[in-house]
Structure 1
């Protein structure tokens, strides 16, 4: 029977046990020993679940207290000067990720951005010319011992050296490739330590090899892996999220003992490799989709893999296409799904069961004569977005004066991104309502009270444009998924986004439509409480698409079009209800960008069209906002401009306004709100810190086109944190206005 293995298991726990442990530790309710005990129990449970499905070896190192990229950064000893302490100390890593840790001074955390084209956020390594590596595999060695003590054969998993280097950010403008040889030596020491601890195989994850890597980076990859070839362990090089494109022959010739290929996103590449593989090295076939929740067509897979399985024997391993970090843990216990949907789904545990069943079929030569799966029957380019519905009546330069007259805002208006703290009381009220302990009328009364408090707090702080706070929303995507036809939501389908933050992606399983108003009544109530403008708040079509598990039997462009039509109807009703500003968030626009440049124009065409279809039906005096965060925007600035939003707010605080330079150099023509308050850290920035960021922004954008706002929504923060932070933000904006009075 072919060997089955796993590239990585969801670390957060089926019931978000890691989240609760982390937040208990950060709040001082758990001590370090109890935190470690809970982490160890999670690891043991996950190894047992994988072993029960036949996974051998089991991965170690896929568990992380915050982020797996940060873990490798710590093992390499690459710690910026502002963070004191031992790199492997847990509080040092929390300090780097959050800017705050027990007994440490509050400082700016390391940057955070998206892991390739997923909604997972990693902590960006900071490099400079003087950086030195001090490799220490101690955390992985400890987990090796844990797994062995439980009776498992462990396989350490690490972010590969080329991917780590590719993701690193030189803070002094130096060339990251200058570190390639020293990094290879550091990884060699890590592998040496793992080998001495008894590891046989080590998995090095290299999704960067599935991107458009320049020639000099491929040369560095070959140099690095040549330096690792004589180590004491066998290296399984894992490439996922695509293939190596024109460099595929060079990838397959790298001196490693095994190669993992993504057979979901690079089906033909895997098929070709299966035909020509000589069996002297392991070929890991990633044939179970690690990024979506649909069951696999095992008949089709058995038919595709059968000839290679007979020829290669134990040189063929079976695996998910990528680590299972991006899917929920277990389908068991899901009771909210529409009839007939559950049998079509597979979460992480079920995907491993599928691997086991596939291996058994191949071993028994149960090979169908033919097979096929549910794939799109039309192409993205065939999806029609009517051009006449994609344009505002007038261009921005003509709309802007009308909006200024309509809104009468000061220069550099202050606002927030949308959500306000989701307090324990709000969450308790929502649980009671869902459980039937609170009827609809009582629930609505409580939510209206929360909205009233949110409006009063913002008025007291002096914000210019208010939000209703989204107390009624569990999540910016799930909330809409619950109210649109053709989309299902789960009871416990949690997926990690970053650190302790988890989301439950909806499941798009049918045609999408809007049965009725979604946000309008809440907006109407909020606006009735204040003379200041309240933003209507919507999640954009591309973000709902990207942050959902999407059907595969039609192009993603068609799903985006259906979402845009539904949102356009909501926008029209918000405007009719008196909304003078409507924000349509698209933080996932950059995330959805294909890894290959050749595939990007088609995606950007329909993604922009979807946003414009949702937003373009309003009057010129109605101001359309959008929000984007935690992504590298430099390569999609043309598309961002084509969205034709009147105002865009972006994450900029962690990068110290670095993103703003790209917008300025591009000549972004509309209004912009660069974030000056990093909400993913518990620290409260001082007024002077925010003012310095605003002054930097004012040097590249005129005050008439500048807004002041946080980086992102505030639902994960407490009122005790955001009151002083927002007060400092408002004071900074007022100071800037005073300094620049005509």
Structure 2
């Protein structure tokens, strides 16, 4: 029997304080070598248990084994020099020191497949795995080799497809590509962004998703959001193209954002992960607040296609707050489930 309104998270969950410094993005590891490997696995198990305890239906690794949702994947590829750094403007919002593409990019071995296998061994629940999308990957690098955002995106799409196929073989049920860049570079999204994403999912039989948000709750993002006015209509630019694509699910930010809920109408027919938890605030939502967001979304998406979710990753939050938010997500989904089946 398929669960109605199955809950999941957008990606990262806070790491335990013995593994990395809490409430910090790019937090360095506190362990090394064999101890680090063991620590990451322990954290993954803990993260799974936390999700199960909170009643989350579609579980993930909580990104416990990676420092950052984009660069950890890139670190495992050839053609990128992490010593050679340049400052670039990320998503037209903030400057960051990033590695340089110095040659042809390629993947010699799987990046997350062992971790996915490990997670699969520890649960019978559906698993969702997040990978960075091609456009967001190129936005986090300085390209001294291809000198073309589009060319590099197609190369990354091929590499992501190799990884995705192996993740599927390891038992992953949903592969999600994180594309916050889709909310910024609209012309590129329509010219080649969605097309490179389709290349990344080529040949997959499992469910596929794209996650488009307004970013973690860090200052650069909240400052940017405050300039967007009373209505955030960015999704209007990418949704028509995504609606026609072969991507199965679209994950978006709805709670405390100024996204008009009726924009979901533009992706009618797709499964929609509705962000009903604000990750940029330490206030824990009430189950009723979550239910309110879901009821609003149900005006524009059929109940069997609605997947309650978080707005974005929760790595920068404290563990107790993240847990409280996950419990609220489950409880809110349960309220609406009961209303739908009454």
- When normalised by structure 2's length, the TM-score is 0.85
Aligned to 1:113: none
Aligned to 1:575: 168
Distance 1:553 1:563, change over 3 A: closer
Shift of 1:494: 8.0
Aligned to 2:336: 736
Residue 71 of structure 2, aligned match among 472, 478, 486: 478
Deviations 1:570-629 (A, max 9, x none): 011111111121111112123222xxxxxx3x652321111011012112xx11111001
Residue 8 of structure 2, aligned match among 415, 424, 434: 415
Shift of 1:567: 0.5
Shift of 1:682: 1.6
Question: Does 2:273 match 1:640?
Answer: no
Distance 1:489 1:676, change over 3 A: same
Shift of 1:422: 3.0
Q: Answer yes or no: is the 8 Å Cα contact 1:422–1:716 preserved in 2.
A: no
Aligned to 1:544: 137
Shift of 1:478: 1.1
Cα-Cα RMSD? 2.4
**Matched residue of 1:679: which SS?**
coil
Aligned to 2:24: none
Aligned to 2:289: 689
Q: Answer yes or no: is the 8 Å Cα contact 2:84–2:99 preserved in 1.
A: no
Aligned to 1:672: 272
Measure, in 2, the Cα distance between the counterparts of 1:561 and 1:496: 21
Measure, in 1, the Cα distance between the counterparts of 2:139 and 2:236: 20
> Which residues of 2 match residues 288-687 of structure 1 at below 5 A?
409-427=2-20, 431-433=29-31, 438-439=32-33, 441-489=34-82, 505-551=98-144, 553-593=146-186, 600=187, 604-619=190-205, 622-630=206-214, 632-655=234-257, 658-664=259-265, 666-687=266-287
Shift of 1:505: 3.4
Aligned to 1:716: 316
Distance 1:603 1:677, change over 3 A: closer
Equivalences, count: 317
Aligned to 1:8: none
Q: Answer yes or no: is the 8 Å Cα contact 2:59–2:127 preserved in 1.
A: yes
Shift of 1:520: 0.5
Distance 1:682 1:491, change over 3 A: farther
Measure, in 1, the Cα distance between the counterparts of 2:256 and 2:237: 19
Measure, in 2, the Cα distance between the counterparts of 1:729 and 1:691: 8
**Matched residue of 1:489: which SS?**
strand
Aligned to 1:312: none
Stretches (4+) displaced over 6 A: 491-498
Measure, in 2, the Cα distance between the counterparts of 1:667 and 1:420: 28
Measure, in 1, the Cα distance between the counterparts of 2:167 and 2:333: 29
Shift of 1:470: 1.1
**Matched residue of 1:707: which SS?**
strand
Shift of 1:545: 1.1
Deviations 1:678-714 (A, max 9, x none): 1011211111111111111112211111110110011
Unaligned runs of 5+ in 1: 1-407, 594-599
Distance 1:703 1:626, change over 3 A: same
Distance 1:477 1:413, change over 3 A: same
Measure, in 2, the Cα distance between the counterparts of 1:464 and 1:648: 17
Q: Answer yes or no: is the 8 Å Cα contact 2:81–2:102 preserved in 1.
A: yes
Measure, in 2, the Cα distance between the counterparts of 1:416 and 1:512: 30
Shift of 1:504: 5.0
Measure, in 2, the Cα distance between the counterparts of 1:728 and 1:684: 8
Distance 1:528 1:503, change over 3 A: farther
Distance 1:709 1:718, change over 3 A: same
- When normalised by structure 1's length, the TM-score is 0.41
Aligned to 2:220: none
Distance 1:682 1:479, change over 3 A: same
Measure, in 2, the Cα distance between the counterparts of 1:659 and 1:512: 39
**Matched residue of 1:427: which SS?**
coil
- As a proportion of its length, which structure holds more strand? 2
Unaligned runs of 5+ in 2: 22-26, 215-231
Most deviating of 627-636 and 443-452: 627-636
Deviations 1:262-295 (A, max 9, x none): xxxxxxxxxxxxxxxxxxxxxxxxxxxxxxxxxx
Shift of 1:495: 7.7
Over alpha carbons, which structure has the higher Rg? 1
Measure, in 2, the Cα distance between the counterparts of 1:496 and 1:719: 30
Distance 1:492 1:551, change over 3 A: closer
Shift of 1:493: 7.0
Deviations 1:411-466 (A, max 9, x none): 11100011110343222695355xxxx32x22111111000101111111111000
